[in-house]
């Protein structure tokens, strides 16, 4: 007499979870298959019918039917396994890796890599990479930093950040700088298919130079809009002429606060400032031009307009920049100042200290 399969029932919430797992693209494939088996069983099908439908064995269907009947969804997960004994004690190997990273790499190498570490410690590459991944250590990635040595760093940075967070009423706050020597490079561009089948942007390695231009830009901190001017040179008269263009658009009784870095053309403008008493310069600390928000916009311009482009003349380059600025200003919005705290003491920490 044939054996009768266990009849299955479940609560609506359990059924909903089974359906979610059966459609999931992130769960383990074996768990997805088991959920499909149980759903078919819950519909009243026999083990052989479920097996034929899902291209598996009746015995397999019977195993998971019984596991679900006894334990519910938790029965569909694999039981804990001891696995193969570790060849290298994890704690000891971790300490050895962290200690080795504090040493200088072998002669001729700038930094350690996984293979070199494994060879130096006489262990497998996989063992080293498991520890590195677990500790979040990425040997090839790096961050640079610029520490200002300006003795008035705190006062100057507080002054500028104060203009960002609490600008004076009835005043215009501008971030001004120049992007010098933008090259009009002409080169062939298009799309190419790599050996892996991926389609990527293609740029010819050789190019023609058609001259350079300089771009002066002023970011309105409150509105996020840009005023600009392109010039052939970047001398102090060019800078003052750009400021004249800005001042001419602002009522004479309105103060203008201009945030600048310490470039030479931004200094020694006392005569011009005397003629424009409503204009006030605020200089960033030494080696801290990142406090100037217009630098963020220059990065956007480079990514969207300049990088990978081809220009047959400086006139074409200028028109491209002007077109981008016009489009950008249509939907411009102010930057939200949220620079993370920079802790100089962290730069002196060792890997071991960071991981313990």
8 Å CB contact between 312 and 63:
no
Q: How far apart are CA 131 and CA 100, in angstroms?
A: 13
- Looking at the 3D structure of the chain, how many domains does it have? 3
The per-residue pLDDT for 71 is 92
The answer to whether position 192 is within a domain reads yes
Q: Do 64 and 167 fall into the same domain?
A: no
Question: What DSSP assignment string belongs to 181-235?
Answer: EEEEEE--EEEEE-TTS-EEEEE-S--EEEEEEEEEEEEETTT--EEEEEES--S
Q: How far apart are CA 229 and CA 247, in angstroms?
A: 14
The answer to whether position 145 is within a domain reads no
The answer to whether position 111 is within a domain reads yes
List phi, psi (to 5°) of 272.
-65, -40
The answer to whether position 123 is within a domain reads yes
Closest by CA to 107, choosing from 96, 116, 98, is 116
The answer to whether position 83 is within a domain reads no
pLDDT tens for 249-282 read: 988 888 999 999 999 999 999 999 999 999 999 9
Task: Name which residue leads in pLDDT, 60 or 144.
Answer: 60
The answer to whether position 4 is within a domain reads no
Q: Do 126 and 207 fall into the same domain?
A: no
Q: Sorting pLDDT into bands at 50, 70 and 90, what band is 340?
A: low
Residues 270/271/273/277 CA torsion (nearest 10 deg): 120
The per-residue pLDDT for 1 is 44
Who's near 50: CB < 8 A, 6+ residues apart?
A: 37, 40, 41, 56, 58, 61
The pair of three-digit structure tokens given for residue 341, joined into one six-digit string: 């705290």
Q: Do 227 and 315 fall into the same domain?
A: yes
**Residue where the block lists tokens 């059966």:** 22
The per-residue pLDDT for 149 is 84
Q: Do 172 and 313 fall into the same domain?
A: yes
8 Å CB contact between 247 and 276:
yes
The pair of three-digit structure tokens given for residue 283, joined into one six-digit string: 């200089």
Residue 354 has pLDDT above 80, yes or no: no
Determine the structural domain holding residue 38 and report its residue range: 12-76
Q: Do 113 and 164 fall into the same domain?
A: no
CATH of the domain at 260: 3.30.420.10
Q: Do 120 and 168 fall into the same domain?
A: no
Q: Sorting pLDDT into bands at 50, 70 and 90, what band is 342?
A: very low
The answer to whether position 171 is within a domain reads yes
Q: Do 159 and 199 fall into the same domain?
A: yes
Closest by CA to 314, choosing from 179, 216, 210, is 210
Task: Name which residue leads in pLDDT, 342 or 241.
Answer: 241
The answer to whether position 141 is within a domain reads no
Residue 94 has pLDDT above 70, yes or no: yes
Q: Do 26 and 106 fall into the same domain?
A: no
């Amino acid at each position: 007499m044939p054996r009768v399969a266990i009849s299955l029932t479940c609560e609506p919430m359990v059924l909903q979870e089974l359906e979610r797992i059966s459609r999931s693209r992130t769960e383990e494939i074996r768990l997805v298959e088991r959920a499909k088996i149980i759903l078919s069983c819950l519909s009243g099908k026999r083990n052989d019918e479920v097996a034929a439908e899902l291209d598996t064995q009746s015995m397999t269907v019977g195993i998971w039917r019984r596991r679900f009947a006894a334990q519910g969804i938790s029965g569909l997960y694999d039981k804990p396994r001891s696995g193969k004994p570790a060849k290298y004690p994890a704690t000891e190997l971790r300490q050895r890796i962290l200690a080795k990273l504090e040493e200088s790499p072998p002669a001729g190498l700038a930094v350690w890599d996984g293979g070199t570490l494994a060879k130096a410690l006489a262990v497998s590459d996989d063992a080293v990479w498991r520890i590195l991944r677990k500790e979040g250590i990425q040997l090839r990635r790096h961050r640079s930093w610029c520490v200002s040595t300006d003795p008035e760093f705190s006062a100057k940075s507080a002054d500028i950040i104060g203009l960002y967070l609490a600008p004076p009423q009835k005043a215009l706050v501008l971030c001004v700088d120049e992007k010098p020597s933008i090259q009009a490079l002409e080169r062939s561009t298009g799309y190419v298919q790599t050996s892996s089948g991926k389609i990527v942007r293609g740029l010819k390695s050789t190019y023609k130079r058609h001259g350079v231009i300089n771009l002066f830009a002023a970011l309105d901190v409150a509105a996020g809009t840009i005023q600009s001017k392109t010039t052939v040179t970047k001398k102090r008269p060019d800078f003052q002429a750009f400021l004249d263009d800005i001042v001419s658009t602002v009522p004479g009784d309105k103060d203008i606060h201009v945030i600048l870095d310490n470039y030479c053309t931004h200094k020694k403008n006392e005569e011009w400032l005397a003629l424009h008493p409503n204009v006030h310069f605020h200089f960033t600390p030494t080696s801290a031009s990142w406090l100037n928000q217009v630098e963020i916009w220059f990065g956007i311009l480079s990514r969207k307009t300049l990088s990978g482009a081809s220009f047959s003349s400086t006139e074409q380059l200028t028109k491209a920049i002007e077109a981008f600025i016009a489009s950008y200003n249509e939907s411009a919005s102010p930057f939200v100042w949220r620079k993370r705290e920079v802790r100089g003491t962290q730069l002196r920490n060792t890997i071991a200290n960071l991981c313990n």
